[in-house]
Structure 1
Amino acid sequence: MGLWSGGQTVQAQALLPYNPELNSEQLEQAGLEMAEEAIQLMRFERPDAAVSRAELSTQLAPERFQTWFILGSLYLQGEEIDRGIEALKQAQTLAPEEAVIRFTLGSAYFEKGDYQTAINEINAGLKIKTDVPTAYFDLGNSHLKLGQYGEAIKAYQKAVSIEKNFWPAINNTGLVKYEQGDLTGALKEWQAALKIDPEQAEPKLAQAVATYVQGKKTEGLKLAEAALMIDGRYGDLEFLRKNLWGDKLLANTKILLDTPEMKAVLLRVQSQPTEETK
C-alpha cells in the first residue's frame, strides 16, 4: 500500500510503515470503538486491558463524553474512586444534560463516604430524568447512611412506585423501619420482598432475626439456616454492615448467630466448596 513505487528494488534500507492521514472524525470514531472494546474486555474479566483501552479512547476522542464516562465507570469498578470521579466530572462537563453521569457520580461519592454530595448529584440527575428506580434506590441509601430515615423511605417508595418488583428497595425499607423500632412494619417489608423473590438471602435472614426476637426461636433459626444456605456471606456481620444493616439489627443478628445451632450452620456453610474449588 504505497511502500514501493514502480518496479525498483530498494537495497539496504528498512521499510518504513505507511502512516495514513486520519482526520479528526476518523480519530474520534476510533476512540469510540476503542471505548466499546473496553466494555467488552471488562465483561471478559480483563480489567487492566479494559482500562488501558478506555484511557487511550479518551486521547483519541477527548471531546466525546462517552469515552470519559466509560473510563470513569471502569475506574470505579477497580475501586479507584478519586480517578473515577475525575473522569466522570470531565464527562459531565462535556454533556451536562446526561442524567446517567450524575447518577454514576452519586454512586462514586457514596463509595467515597461523601453521602451529602451523593444526594446532591443524584437529585441533579433526577431533575433531568425522573423515572429511574435505581437512582431513587441509591438516593435512599445515601439518606439512610446519614440517618435521615424519613427521606430514605420516601426514596425507596418512589423506586417501588416506578418498578413494583424492585425488591432491594422494599428490603431496605425494612432495614429503616427496624432501626426506627417498627419491628412489625419491617417484617412486612421483608415478607413482601420474599414474595417477589423467595430465594433472596438478605430479606430471609432479616426476617429470621425479627422472628427470633419476637420469641419464635425455632422458626427464626429455621429461616436463618435457609438464608445462610443460599448465601453464606450473610453470616458475616461486617458484610451485613456494608449492606446497610443498622446497629439495632446487627446487635440482634449477633445474638442469633451466636447460638449453638447457628454456629453449627456457619461451620457447615464455611466447609462447603466454593464455585472456584469445585
Structure 2
Amino acid sequence: MLNKLREQTVFKGNWLLSLLVGVGVWQFNVPAMGQMLLPYTPQLNPEQLEQQGLEVAEEAAQLIRFQQHDLALARAKLATQLAPNKYQPWFILGTLYIIKQELELGVNALEKALILEPEEVGIKFTLGNAYFQQKKYQQAATELEEGLEIKPDIPSAQFDLGNAYFKLGRMTDAIAVYQEAINQEEGFWPAVNNIGLIKYEQGDIPSAIEHWEKALEIDSEQAEPLLALGVALYVQGKKEQGLELGETALQLDSNYGELQHLKDNLWGEKLMKDTEVFFTTPQMQSVLSQLQQESSKEIKDQQQTSDN
C-alpha cells in the first residue's frame, strides 16, 4: 500500500512496520557507559559520539512506533552522523525513507546498513520490500529468501516473497510461500486473498471464490476480497449478489474503484478485464459517480477549512 492512499486503506503489499516490530530489530542495546552525564565540553571521544548516536537512533525508532515520522527522520539523520559505522542508524533512516516513499534514498541507506551488518534479517526484509516497490522483483526475492533462511518464521516476509514470485510469474512458488505465511499466522487474510488472485488467473474461479470467502471469514470489513468475490460471482451469473458485494466493497474503501489501485494490489489481466466490465454496469456506475462526488466535496471542504 502506498502513502498516497487514504489512511484507512490497508495496503496489503506493505506490512513493513509490523514486520520490523515483530522481528524486534529495533530493540538493540545501547552500550553501557556507566552513569555518564550529557557532556558539557565539545571534546567528545569517538566512543561517546557513537554512544550518543545509538541513543538518538533509539529515540527515532520510538518515534516511528508513534508515527512521528518527521521528528524521527531528523533524529535518524543525526544518528548516522554520530555513529556512521553502526548499522542501526542507517537501518532506521532507510526505513523512514521507505515509509515516506523516497525509495532511492531509502535503498541507499539500507544498503549501507547491510554492508555494516550482513546477517541482520530486518535489513534484508526491509530492503526486499523496497526493491519490490522499485519493481526490482528478482532483487527483492533474493533479499527476502536470504532473510528467511536466517529467520524463517516471519509471515510478513513470506508474504512479500510471495508477491515477488507473483510478479516474476512463479505462481506455484508464490502459492507455496503464501501458504507458509498462513501456516505461521492463520488470520493472515492478505495471503489467503492473493492465492485467490492467482487461482482466478489460472481459470480456477471456484477455488478463487473459496479463498476470498475464507479471507472475509477472517476479516469481513476488507474491501479487496469483497470486490473480487463480487466480480467472480457476477461472472458466474449471480449478478445481483455480485453487484451488492461490489457496492459494499466500494463503500468500505473507494480506492478499489480505481483500476490502478487494483493493479498495484496484484490483480491480474483476467480479473482486471472482468472488473472493467463489472464497473460498466449501471449500478456500479451509479456507485462510482456518487463516491466521486463525495470525494470532490470532501476535498473542497478541506480546502475551505485550510483557507480559513
Common fold: TM-score over 0.5: yes
- In structure 2, the partner of 1:247 is 269
Structure 1 segment 38-117 matched on structure 2, within 5 A = 38-42=60-64, 47-117=69-139
1:145 and 2:167 matched? yes
Between the aligned partners of 1:195 and 1:57, the Cα distance in structure 2 is 45
* Worse-superposed segment, 59-68 or 120-129: 59-68
2:282 corresponds, among 260, 271, 277, to 260
How many residues are matched?
262
User: Match of 1:207, SS?
Assistant: helix
Between the aligned partners of 1:42 and 1:99, the Cα distance in structure 2 is 19
User: Match of 2:85, SS?
Assistant: coil
Higher normalized contact order (CA 8 Å, seq sep 6+, divided by chain length): 2
Between the aligned partners of 1:252 and 1:190, the Cα distance in structure 2 is 16
Residue identity opposite 1:198 in structure 2: S
1:182 and 2:204 matched? yes
1:19 and 2:41 matched? yes
- In structure 1, the partner of 2:187 is 165
- Structure 1 residue 141: Cα displacement: 0.3
In the alignment, structure 2 segments of 5+ residues that lack a partner are 1-39
Between the aligned partners of 1:68 and 1:104, the Cα distance in structure 2 is 12
Structure 1 segment 214-229 matched on structure 2, within 5 A = 214-229=236-251
- In structure 2, the partner of 1:128 is 150
Q: Whose radius of gyration is greater, 1 or 2?
A: 1
- Structure 1 residue 21: Cα displacement: 2.8
RMSD, aligned α-carbons: 2.1
- In structure 2, the partner of 1:202 is 224
- In structure 2, the partner of 1:4 is none
- Structure 1 residue 76: Cα displacement: 1.3
Residue identity opposite 2:212 in structure 1: W
* Worse-superposed segment, 107-116 or 28-37: 28-37
- Structure 1 residue 45: Cα displacement: 5.8
- Structure 1 residue 59: Cα displacement: 1.1
* Runs of 4+ residues over 4 Å off in structure 1: 40-49, 273-278
Residue identity opposite 2:294 in structure 1: Q
Identity %: 53
In the alignment, structure 1 segments of 5+ residues that lack a partner are 1-17
Between the aligned partners of 1:84 and 1:27, the Cα distance in structure 2 is 24
1:154 corresponds, among 176, 179, 187, to 176
User: Match of 1:272, SS?
Assistant: helix
Deviations 1:41-82 (A, max 9, x none): 556666454333212211101122110100111121222222
- Structure 1 residue 85: Cα displacement: 1.6
- In structure 1, the partner of 2:259 is 237
Between the aligned partners of 2:216 and 2:70, the Cα distance in structure 1 is 38
Between the aligned partners of 2:229 and 2:170, the Cα distance in structure 1 is 23
Residue identity opposite 1:33 in structure 2: E
1:31 and 2:92 matched? no
* Worse-superposed segment, 96-105 or 22-31: 22-31
TM-score by length of 1: 0.88
- Structure 1 residue 97: Cα displacement: 2.0
Residue identity opposite 2:247 in structure 1: E
